[in-house]
Structures are given as structure tokens and as C-alpha cells.
Amino acid sequence: MSDTSFDDAPLLGPLARVLDQGRGDDSRAALSRLHDRLAADAASSGLLDVAYRTLDTPVGTLLLAATDQGVVRIAFDVEGHDAVLDRIARTVSPRVLRSPARLDRLATEIDEYFAGERRTFDLPLDLTMATGPFRREVLSHLRDIGYGRTASYAQVALAAGSPRAVRAVGTACARNPLPLVVPCHRVVRSDGSSGSYAGGPEAKRLLLALEHAA
């Protein structure tokens, strides 16, 4: 497919979703082959800025996305994967395409985490979607909360150098673009209750129970 033109590269994201909607085994297989060739040509031509795939997990189907710099987004079903992809296209690059190969390592590490075989993630991260210096400061401290441990929003605010910014810490956790890898699920209320979570309260309770049982 070396003669393929990518003049319409900004349409790669919507095209990927159209391809994903093929019906019938034969048409899905043909579309999958076409999609794989398109993704390979886009990558080799330097026109694939953001690769994505989905992954089934105990907390639902996750959307995984990565740039050349690292993992840029992990999103839960309840966030609306199409809406997340559209936001990636607006804030990172419109050249977004389903390309699982770039995300194989992340998918494997997440599977190992849920199997109880992994406690930390060893992947480069792209924090493009984490806007604002304080929000990034909060995210940097979240990675210091060890597996199976928790910290209160107040404790994270203190660690980030703004002890009164408890609400801002809550906002940073709620808008964390990289849940699981940057473990905002380990931040709880001062009374020990789990608090809110982008993936929903049940997902947060499941993650905490998984880690505490290990």
C-alpha cells in the first residue's frame, strides 16, 4: 500500500472508528487487514501521532492511547471512548489511529497488574493531557503512594506544597489522564472512605481491594 495518500491524515481517527464498525466475519476480517495496512503505512510515513487500542479488564473495557513519547491516555468505559478520542484529536494531534502493536507492552503490564503479578508500571509517560503545573505536581506525588497503601487528599495537597488545596487535589485526581499507571485510586478521604473516581466508585473499591489482598 505504498502508493496510499495520507493527505486526509486528520481523518484517521474517525476512519478508524468506521472500520471498527464493520459487520459480518468476512467484512470484519477484510477491514481488519485494511486497517492494519493503513496503520503500518501511517506509522512508517510519520503520520501516526497517537495509537490506540482497547483492553478488557475487571474494571471494564479500557481505552489505551500512546504517542512516540509514551502513554498519553487511559480511559474507562464510563468516560465515553469516542469522546476521549475526540479530545485526544483536539489536544494532542488529529492523527489518531487504532494500532495495537504500540500498546502491547502497556496491555501486558495491565494484565499482569490485575493478575497480581505486577505492583508498578515501567513505561514512559506523555503528560500532554495533564494541564497546569499544580496538576502535574499532584500527579508526580501520586506515583509515590506505594502499592496497597493509601493517602488522603489532604496528605497529597501537603506533599504538593499547597496544604489548603485539597479540592484542587481532588480535581487533579478526577482529571488524571493516566489512571492505574498514575494511581489516583490510592487517594481517599480523610475519614478512610474511598471517595470519587473517574472509573466509578465500584472500580475504585475493586482496585483498592485487589491491592490490599495481595
182 CB-near residues (< 8 Å, 6+ apart):
125, 139, 142, 143, 176
Number of other residues whose CB lies within 10 A of the CB of residue 180: 24
90 CB-near residues (< 8 Å, 6+ apart):
none
Are residues 106 and 32 part of one domain? yes
Q: Cα separation of 179 and 96, whole Å?
A: 20
* pLDDT over threshold 60, residue 13: no
Stretch 51-63: mean pLDDT, rounded?
A: 97
Are residues 137 and 164 part of one domain? yes
> Higher-confidence residue: 26 or 125?
125
Are residues 52 and 79 part of one domain? yes
Residue 50 lies in a domain: yes
Q: Which residue range is the domain that position 181 belongs to?
A: 133-213
Stretch 32-41: mean pLDDT, rounded?
A: 55
pLDDT at 48: 86
Q: H/E element holding 118?
A: none
Residues marked as catalytic? 184
Stretch 32-56: mean pLDDT, rounded?
A: 70
Are residues 88 and 149 part of one domain? no
* pLDDT over threshold 50, residue 1: no
What is the tens place of the pLDDT at every residue in 110-133? 999 999 999 999 999 999 999 999
What is the tens place of the pLDDT at every residue in 70-86? 999 999 999 999 999 99
Specify the DSSP class assigned to residue 172: H
Are residues 161 and 80 part of one domain? no
> Higher-confidence residue: 12 or 69?
69
Are residues 164 and 86 part of one domain? no
> Where residue 185 sits, what CATH number does that domain have?
1.10.10.10
> What is the DSSP secondary-structure string of 51-76?
EEEEEEETTEEEEEEE-SSSEEEEE-
Stretch 148-152: mean pLDDT, rounded?
A: 96
Angle between helical axes of 12-20 and 25-44 (0-180°, round to 10): 160
> Higher-confidence residue: 11 or 73?
73
* Distances in whole angstroms, Cα of residue 177 to Cα of each of 13, 24, 118, 180: 19, 34, 21, 10
Residue 94 — pLDDT band, cuts 50, 70, 90?
very high
pLDDT at 9: 45
* pLDDT over threshold 80, residue 18: no
| Mean pLDDT over each residue of the chain, to the nearest integer | 86
Of 114, 141, 164, the domain-final residue: 114
pLDDT at 104: 96
pLDDT at 139: 96
User: How many domains does the chain fold into?
Assistant: 2
